[in-house]
Amino acid sequence: MAKTVAFKQVDVFSQLPFSGNPLAVILDADGLSGDEMAAIARWTNLSETAFVLAPTDKHADYRVRIFTVEGELPFAGHPTLGTAHALLEAGLVPQASNQIVQECGVGLVTIKIESQGTLAFMAPEAVLTPFDDALLGTVFDQEVLDTEQVVTIADMGIRWLLVPMKSAEAVLKFKPNVNALERLLKHAQVNGLMPFGPHNDGDEQFEVRGLMVEHGALTEDPVTGSANACLAQYFASRGCVEDYHVRQGTAIQRYGRVTIQYREEGIWIGGQTLTVINGTINL
């Protein structure tokens, strides 16, 4: 007889259903092998699938393993918030009343429970490395780049190439040549490209995108927690520590919204989450 476990599909970084970044969450994965988790992740065919396990660290409320269709990640932002949301909804009582501690591949990650159900994770440290290479010119027109800032590789377990552009409009109009972009990503040894640019007005200060090449095709992540955490660390390294709001997913008709807060204890990456599918999965 097949084993049945609870399953949720959560929309992350949006308060509108079907407008954020979807995440599959398997709520009891202790009996699954890594190969079985990988197979399930390939089947869900989402950017990430999260598998909840008993913690091995006494300070953690749970442990999570995060898989893409291609393999396991040590950390990712939207699975962090989506898994915490799913567990709270399922009845998790954390050790602390206003926060959750998640154990994952990069160690312990703190998630703050804010008002009105908003969740925010503390951004892990990032290794920032300036990147100046001729291949940038094969992907970007020089006139759209903000040359007062530095193109940077940010490594947070996932590696992102952060590219400052002059405006949000330039970010939205950006249409890279796929072959050139793939060469750039491989040369920089990064998982994806994050162009970002300022808005002149409105509630959000920056427009960002998360671009990757998978199997020779351009793909765009609707809303990217890890890349936004990398960008927040990038701004902090430049002495910019004012809170700000990000819009992401606009180019693919999503409504992603991310809030970045700089506090004494660290940088918080937050957003709304909601469940769109409740059910069980047969293993």
> pLDDT of 173-228, one tens digit each?
999 999 999 999 999 999 999 999 999 998 999 999 999 998 899 999 999 999 99
Out of 36, 48, 72, 220, the active site residue is: 48
If one compares 15 and 25, the residue with the highest pLDDT of the two is 25
* Separation between Cα atoms, residue 129 and residue 225, nearest integer Å: 20
Task: Kindly report each contact of residues 89-97 with a partner whose C-beta sits within 8 Å and lies 24 or more positions away, as own/partner.
Answer: 89/8, 89/275, 90/6, 90/8, 90/27, 92/61, 92/62, 94/61, 95/59, 95/61
pLDDT for 2:
72
pLDDT for 283:
84
pLDDT for 3:
84
| Alpha-helical regions (H) of the chain | 34-44, 77-89, 136-139, 168-173, 178-188, 225-237
Mean pLDDT within 88-98: 94
User: Letter for the amino acid at 13?
Assistant: F
Per the prediction, the chain carries an average pLDDT of 95
To the query of whether residue 242 is one of the catalytic residues in this protein, the response is: no
Q: In this structure, what DSSP letter does residue 144 have?
A: G
* Separation between Cα atoms, residue 163 and residue 171, nearest integer Å: 10
pLDDT for 151:
98
Would the pTM of this model clear 0.75, i.e. be above it?
yes
What percent of the chain is predicted at pLDDT more than 90? 93
Residue 1's pLDDT band (boundaries 50, 70, 90)? low
Q: In this structure, what DSSP letter does residue 74 have?
A: S
- E strands in the chain: 4-12, 21-26, 49-53, 62-67, 72-73, 99-104, 107-113, 119-122, 127-130, 152-156, 158-164, 192-198, 206-208, 210-214, 217-221, 244-248, 256-263, 266-271, 273-282
Contacts of residue 114, defined as CB under 8 A and 6 or more positions apart, other chains included, come to 120, 270
